[in-house]
Structure 1
Amino acid sequence: MGLRELKAARTRAQIVDTALDLFLDQGYDETTMEQIAAKAEVGTTTLYRYFPSKDLLILARIEQTMDLGGSLRERPSQEPLDVALGSAIRECLQGVGYEEERDTALRRMIDNSPVPRARLWDLGARYLDDLKKAIGERIHRPADDLQVLMTAHLAYAVLQVVDEAWRDADGDRDARARVIDDLLHRLSTLDLVLPAPPTGTDAAGRARPAPEVGG
């Protein structure tokens, strides 16, 4: 990372930390972008360049864990897809800190605020679509291919399970990699059950005719 990128990352982190502190101290709706800029000691133009809207600030830490498609694209092209996805999940969670009381309060605030809650759903859909594209690019299939769709949805489900597992372990930074890798190993050994077609239907979902009885 170059000096300019490092400075931008520090400014971004400073803005997010300041905004989250203000949200917790005085409430999401009561906090203005002007207050955040002043407290973070940046100009309002700079603030809006990093975060065009306030809802993106309260979701910034959660969004860090969502870019699974971007992390997958950074994996070596010759790496098997399952290994690449596991490494991408690890990468998404590695840089995120965790403070149980603070993060719980912020999540409650998001759930009770219509605009951030709706934006979170939008972000989830956008990052899932991007993951489908990234998987499709990797295995040379269209993003709407059934294998691509199911792989993307399952990968996000695994990301959520792994995220919850290390948070249940108190979000210990030192133990994070171990917790993540342990759960990924355990998941790889599961005999997962997928829904099967109802008995008596063919591959197109049509009811099979009952066999003739007698002669």
Structure 2
Amino acid sequence: MSRPGLRERKKTETLRRMQEEALRLFEEQGYDATTIEQIAEAAGVSPSTFYRYFPTKEDVVVQDEYDPMIVAAFRRQPEGAAPIDAFRSALAEQFAQFSPEDMARLRGRVELVLSVPALRARQVQQVVATERMIGEMVAERTGRSPGDLEVRNFAAALIATWSAGILVWVEGGGQDDLTAVLGRCLDHLEAGVPL
């Protein structure tokens, strides 16, 4: 796995700094009372830089660098691996790189999304984009069209599985290993979701 270049690392650092400062300010003074100007100032960037990374205030919470990283990890999986196995391995690879601080930040973001109606609405749009991205990756791997019903259904089921696992993880206080929780969810999906 190649290390990102200096420019990409600086972009990721800037994104994280803005997100961390935003989350700190939201916790201190509330989501609605915090302005983009305050976030930019706390992160040491201009408001125009903020907008280059995040089109809206909601995006500073719901967007992250994880989707492109999961895409790259998925594409590194063996060509013959079934999509669900490739996603399982890609997630394990991704979360193995997370520090305890990364996990705490993820948990804090999910808790904030659950508590602010505007963020929940924006998260729905983000989920649609991620679902489309997953459909394209699965279509590419399987030689099918991203518009095929089965490809779209798989992508939607995968998103629902991840969402359920992340909610269980957050509700448990983030104490469980998120990779293990998501692995159990994928196993359940792969088994046909028996009860």
- Tell me if both proteins adopt one fold, taking TM over 0.5 as the criterion: yes
TM-score when scaled to structure 2?
0.76
Kindly provide the amino acid, as one letter, of the partner of residue 46 in structure 2.
G
Q: CA RMSD in A?
A: 3.2
C-alpha contact (below 8 Å) 1:71/1:88 kept by paired residues: yes
Give the direction of change, closer, same or farther, for the CA distance of 1:119–1:170 in structure 2 (3 Å limit): closer
The CA deviation at 1:128 is 0.9
Using a 3 Å threshold, how does the CA distance of structure 1 residues 105 and 25 change in structure 2: closer, same or farther?
farther
User: Is contact 1:71-1:92 (8 Å) kept?
Assistant: yes
Map of 1:84 onto structure 2 = 86
Unaligned residue ranges in structure 1 (runs of 5+):
194-215
Out of 139, 145, 148, the residue aligned to residue 145 of structure 1 is 148
CA contact (8 A) 1:68 1:88 kept: yes
Aligned CA distance change for structure 1 residues 91 and 164 (closer, same or farther; 3 Å): farther
1:107 to 113, 118, 124: 113
Look at both structures and tell me which one has the larger radius of gyration over its CA atoms: 1
Structure 2 runs not aligned, ≥5 long: none
| Cα distance in 2 between the residues matched to 1:55 and 1:131 | 22
Counterpart for residue 24 of structure 2: 21
Residue 9 of structure 2 is matched in structure 1 by 6
What is the CA-CA distance between 1:56 and the residue it aligns to?
0.4
Residue pairs, 1:1-215, within 5 angstroms: 1-60=4-63, 64=66, 71-91=73-93, 95=98, 96-98=102-104, 102-103=108-109, 106-111=112-117, 113=118, 116-172=119-175, 175-181=177-183, 183-184=184-185, 186-187=187-188, 190-192=191-193
Aligned length: 187
Task: Report the Cα distance in structure 2 between the residues aligned to 1:184 and 1:14, rounded to whole angstroms.
Answer: 31
Secondary structure (helix, strand or coil) at the match of 1:97 reads helix
Show CA shifts across 1:54-104 (max 9, x none): 11012236x847986565334332322221122234456554513799457
Q: Distance in 1 between matches of 2:143 and 2:171?
A: 37
* Deviation, structure 1 residue 179: 4.0
Q: Which of the pair is proportionally richer in helix? A: 2
Q: Do the aligned partners of 2:70 and 2:90 also contact (CA within 8 Å) in 1? A: yes
